[in-house]
């Protein structure tokens, strides 16, 4: 056991930056889970694209944090993942800035139901908006990545889903359905990418203490989420980012077409 631990430690010392030389796009990475992911991938050596849609100051701050510490290298690109031309722009900007094909796509951009309505009560407009960003956005990102990621090893498509797809909680029907479609797409895409050496997986977090989770929810609702978790707390963005980092690395090359649930046992 001690010998195995020593070997693992030596390997980590020899390869402190397992994503060195690789280019990663992380959508929705100016805040929340996406921010934690892009910071983590950069710490592993990746050259990263910080993507945002509305708050340029937040995105610039994330990129500045990455660029101020070795081996950080980041650019900021404004793009709406529900627009094909914007998704293409993300890849064009990455290739131009880093003189390299993109190796890793992480699609973290998403929106929640602003009213947490039951399916009979949610507006058609809100339903369409959720599916436009969460499902159409994931599709467009997958489509672009499948055609442009580096072939022959190291290509990774990682989509953020939700453990709500398994738990099927009331008043989250539209959001949950939008993420269920994402999970179905990733399982099929993994098979369709046969021969490219590109893997495609989903990470499905449970409740994570971000601005998106807290918006529109009472303290009583948040406490109920905490009480349902065997570990007695909300998840944090730091709980999700290392899982994505692993899936982005060579260590995960035998994991493909999978949904990795990261929720502390929350049901």
Tokens of residue 55, six digits: 């708050």
DSSP letter assigned to residue 150:
P
Pairing of strands 74-78, 47-52: parallel
Encoded tokens for 149: 């990621």
Q: Are 177 and 233 in contact (CB under 8 A)?
A: no
Residues forming the active site: 175
Place of tokens 């909300």: 234
First to last CA, the chain: 34
Specify whether the CB–CB gap between 128 and 47 falls below 8 A.
Answer: no
**What distance in Å separates the CA atoms of residue 46 and residue 40, rounded to the nearest whole number?**
9
Q: Strand 47-52's sheet: what is its strand order?
A: 74-78, 47-52, 23-27, 104-107, 156-160, 199-205, 259-262
Length of the chain as a residue count = 267
Among 256, 238, 239, CA closest to 247:
256
């Amino acid at each position: 056991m001690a010998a195995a631990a020593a070997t693992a430690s030596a390997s980590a010392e020899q390869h402190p930056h397992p994503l060195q030389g690789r280019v990663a796009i992380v959508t929705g990475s100016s805040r929340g889970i996406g921010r934690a992911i892009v910071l983590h991938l950069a710490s592993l050596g990746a050259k990263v694209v910080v993507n945002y849609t509305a708050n340029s100051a937040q995105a610039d701050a994330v990129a500045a944090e990455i660029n101020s510490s070795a081996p950080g290298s980041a650019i900021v690109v404004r793009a709406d993942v529900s627009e094909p031309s914007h998704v293409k722009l993300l890849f064009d900007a990455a290739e131009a800035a880093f003189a390299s094909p993109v190796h890793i796509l992480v699609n973290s951009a998403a929106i929640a139901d602003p009213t947490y309505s039951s399916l009979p009560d949610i507006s058609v407009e809100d339903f369409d908006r959720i599916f436009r960003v969460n499902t159409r956005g994931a599709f467009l990102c997958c489509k672009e990545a499948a055609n442009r990621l580096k072939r022959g090893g190291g290509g990774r498509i990682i989509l953020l889903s939700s453990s709500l797809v398994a738990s099927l909680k009331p008043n989250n029907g539209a959001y949950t359905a939008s993420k269920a479609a994402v999970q179905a797409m990733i399982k099929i895409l993994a098979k369709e990418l046969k021969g490219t050496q590109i893997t495609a997986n989903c990470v499905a977090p449970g409740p994570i203490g971000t601005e998106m989770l807290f918006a529109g929810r009472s303290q009583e609702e948040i406490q109920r989420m905490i009480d349902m978790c065997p570990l007695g707390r909300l998840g944090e963005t730091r709980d999700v980012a290392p899982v994505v980092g692993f899936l982005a690395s060579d260590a995960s090359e035998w994991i493909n077409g999978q949904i990795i649930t990261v929720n502390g046992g929350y049901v």
